[in-house]
Amino acid sequence: MGMTLNLLSSSQWVITTGLFLVILWLAAGRVDWQRLKRDQALQHTLFGAAVVLGVLWQIRAGLSPGLTIHIFGMTAVTLMLGWELAVFAGLMASLAVVVTGREPWQLFAANSLITVMVPALVSHAIMRWERRRSFRNFFAYIFFCGFFGAAISVAVAGVSMVLMLWSSGTYSWYDLVHEYLRYLPLIMLPEAFVNGTVVTGFMVFHPERLLTLDPRRYR
């Protein structure tokens, strides 16, 4: 969603950087680094996801600074890697976006918080909810974790960004509603379709690549 310079206040910059560092620390502490070191297939999935996200995030549209639209893809990556490694894949993609000049490095933490961490955590929460419900049909994983999870994660990320921009005084609530919020349902649909399709494809052809999938739960 690519916020640019002068969109956030100094206090917001400090708060978003602090949240970014806390979540990054939690993710780093939960990653099984020994498994990642010895599992080449997992390494390929991690770096492959980072490359795909880095390319995908170059394609964006928008009228006003910070109110750009693009496919996130973080839900599928979260289901493939778990939220911890998904955060690192997303950060590598965000770094590529900064290097190519699409986003300023000064807002790397704020943009990564909205684009990477919020969708990953929301997708993880929905996946945990699906597990607690003990569904026995694998379509529940595809629908709730893939399609539904992607739509909700991009909605939460979009609303979070809008609230940040509104509280900073950069845009009025009227402008945010008419330039972004009213289009949010239209953003949710392609996000759900892309992520849900990717998850379905992996579940059919390479279910072992979905680390959050427990096939023993489904009949």
Instruction: Check residue 179 and give its pLDDT.
Output: 82
Length of the chain: 219
> Which pLDDT tens digits describe the chain residue by residue (219 residues)?
666 667 777 888 899 999 999 999 999 999 999 999 999 999 999 999 999 999 999 888 766 766 778 899 999 999 999 999 999 999 999 999 999 888 888 889 999 999 999 999 999 999 999 999 888 888 899 999 999 999 999 999 999 999 988 988 878 888 888 888 888 888 999 999 999 999 999 988 888 899 999 888 776
Domain boundaries, the chain: 10-217
Model pLDDT, residue 13: 87
Q: How confident is the model at residue 4, as a pLDDT?
A: 62
For 27-60, give the secondary structure using H, E and C.
Answer: HHHHCCHHHHHHCHHHHHHHHHHHHHHHHHCCCC
Which distant-in-sequence residues (6+ apart) come within 8 Å of 33 by Cβ?
A: none
pLDDT score recorded for residue 66: 66
What CATH code is assigned to 10-217? 1.10.1760.20
pTM to 2 decimal places: 0.93
pLDDT score recorded for residue 1? 61
3-class secondary structure for the chain?
CCCCCCCCCHHHHHHHHHHHHHHHHHHHHHCCHHHHHHCHHHHHHHHHHHHHHHHHCCCCECCCCCCCECCCCHHHHHHHHHHHHHHHHHHHHHHHHHHCCCCCHHHHHHHHHHHHHHHHHHHHHHHHHHHHHCCCCHHHHHHHHHHHHHHHHHHHHHHHHHHHHHHHCCCCHHHHHHHCHHHHHHHHHHHHHHHHHHHHHHHHHCHHHCCCCCHHHCC
pLDDT given for residue 62 in this prediction: 66
Predicted pLDDT at 94: 95
Mean pLDDT of the chain: 90
pLDDT tens-digit readout, 81-100? 999 999 999 999 999 999 98
